[in-house]
Amino acid sequence: MLPTAELHIHIEGTLEPEMLVRLAARNGVKLPTTDIDELRARYRFTDLQSFLDLYYANLPVLRTEQDFYDLTSAYLARAAQAGVRRAEIFFDPQTHLRNGVPLEAVFAGLSGALDDARDISTDLILCFLRDLGADAAEETFRAALPFRDRFIGVGLDSAEVGHPPSLFREVYRMAAAEGLHRVAHAGEEGGPDYVWEALDVLGVERIDHGIRAMEDAKLVRRLREEQVPLTVCPLSNVALRVVGELADHVLPAMLDEGLLVCVNSDDPAYFGGYVDDNFAALRSELGLDDQQLATLARNSFDACFAPAEQKARWK
């Protein structure tokens, strides 16, 4: 197993159908079906929005601190098996607030599970839902400030097109002033202009996805010269039909261009696998060799926000 860091993982996207059914029963939440096979059959998508619709529809089963603890513990156990030594975990507080769960319960469950994970280095990144707009993001950020020491950065996710990074200039300025790291989803369904904006307007240190940056040669040069990390999620891109099939993926071209790309699972319960499954698919379906896979793993440690002495140990 190749040791790696996982830098693009939505904890809500690790909700396997079995856990969904267990939490629904525990909390008295009604599901359309409790048949695992039927639930899994619904995990099929035509685009990002069709995935997000199901992802948000499932999340009301998360109600208590214990639910967040159990979800996160299950991910960390599976990630350790996948060779993950370092995980920087996204969470979507706005979803849970909308579902009536207080931030205290979300943070307590997540950070409780991180504290109990002995074999894996972890931190949290708070994501704003871009389709809820900038005012909601700022309000969420202020509400999260009492928990400032529980997360190391902010991100931007959910429906991309029509919600460009530049709308979020102010909340990213507030996050920078707090000394937080900044990342953003860009260039998944949105074009290269979204990647430019994330860099120039939000000042992000990493781009999540970024595969459509390959359509803009000037942007590729910028990403290479500044060695901006790109957290690519191959199985996610296939599941959401951002690419036709894995054999068509631009990841090998990104490596050839000298970009700092790494491999991640995004929403593994929904997209057909964890980070080890992504690595295996890159080998079997894209023909990446040991050296290329090792480069991807090494890049992930370069790209992570852990202290330098920890990074040196992993590499």
Site mask for ligand ES4 (CB under 6 A), range 241-280, x = bound: -------------------------xx-------------
| CA–CA dist 30, 26 (Å, integer) | 11
Residue 234 interacts with ligand ES4 (CB under 6 A)?
A: no
* Strands of 181-186's sheet in order across: 4-10, 84-91, 121-129, 153-157, 181-186, 206-209, 230-232, 261-263
| CA–CA dist 28, 24 (Å, integer) | 6
CB closer to Zn ion out of 63 and 206 = 206
Residue 10 interacts with ligand ES4 (CB under 6 A)?
A: yes
Residue 13 binds which entry of Zn ion, ligand ES4, none, with Cβ cut-offs from 5 to 8 Å by kind? ligand ES4
The three-state secondary structure class of 221 is: helix
185 annotated to bind ligand: yes
| CA–CA dist 208, 202 (Å, integer) | 13
67 annotated to bind ligand: no
CB closer to ligand ES4 out of 6 and 188 = 188
Angle, vertex CA 26, rays to CA 25 and CA 32, nearest 5: 25
CB closer to Zn ion out of 105 and 278 = 278
CB closer to Zn ion out of 270 and 301 = 270
Q: Which one of 4, 14, 58, 158 is in contact with ligand ES4 (CB under 6 A)?
A: 158
The beta-carbon contacts of 94-102 under 8 Å, at least 24 apart in sequence, are 94/128, 94/129, 94/132, 94/136, 94/140, 95/12, 95/56, 95/59, 95/129, 96/59, 96/62, 97/140, 97/143, 99/59, 99/60, 99/62, 99/63, 100/63, 101/62, 101/63, 101/64
CB closer to ligand ES4 out of 158 and 300 = 158
Residue 185 interacts with ligand ES4 (CB under 6 A)?
A: yes
Positions that interact with Zn ion (CB under 5 A) = 266
CB of 78 to Zn ion, least distance (A): 17
Selected catalytic residue, list 88, 160, 188, 197: 188
Token pair belonging to 126: 């708070």
| CA–CA dist 118, 114 (Å, integer) | 8
CB closer to ligand ES4 out of 278 and 298 = 278
209 annotated to bind ligand: no
CB of 233 to Zn ion, least distance (A): 6
Token pair belonging to 128: 């704003």
| CA–CA dist 309, 306 (Å, integer) | 8
163 annotated to bind ligand: no
CB of 266 to ligand ES4, least distance (A): 5
Site mask for ligand ES4 (CB under 6 A), range 11-50, x = bound: --x----------------------------------x--
| Cβ count within 10 A of residue 218 | 9
Residue 88 interacts with ligand ES4 (CB under 6 A)?
A: no
Q: Is 16 a catalytic residue?
A: no
266 annotated to bind ligand: yes
| CA–CA dist 73, 117 (Å, integer) | 8
Residue 188 binds which entry of ligand ES4, Zn ion, none, with Cβ cut-offs from 5 to 8 Å by kind? ligand ES4
Contact 305, 123 (CB under 8 A): yes
The identity of residue 169, as a single letter, is R
Binding residues for substrate: 267
Contacts with ligand ES4 by CB under 6 A lie at 10, 13, 48, 55, 157-158, 185, 188, 236, 266-267
Which sequence positions are flagged as catalytic? 188
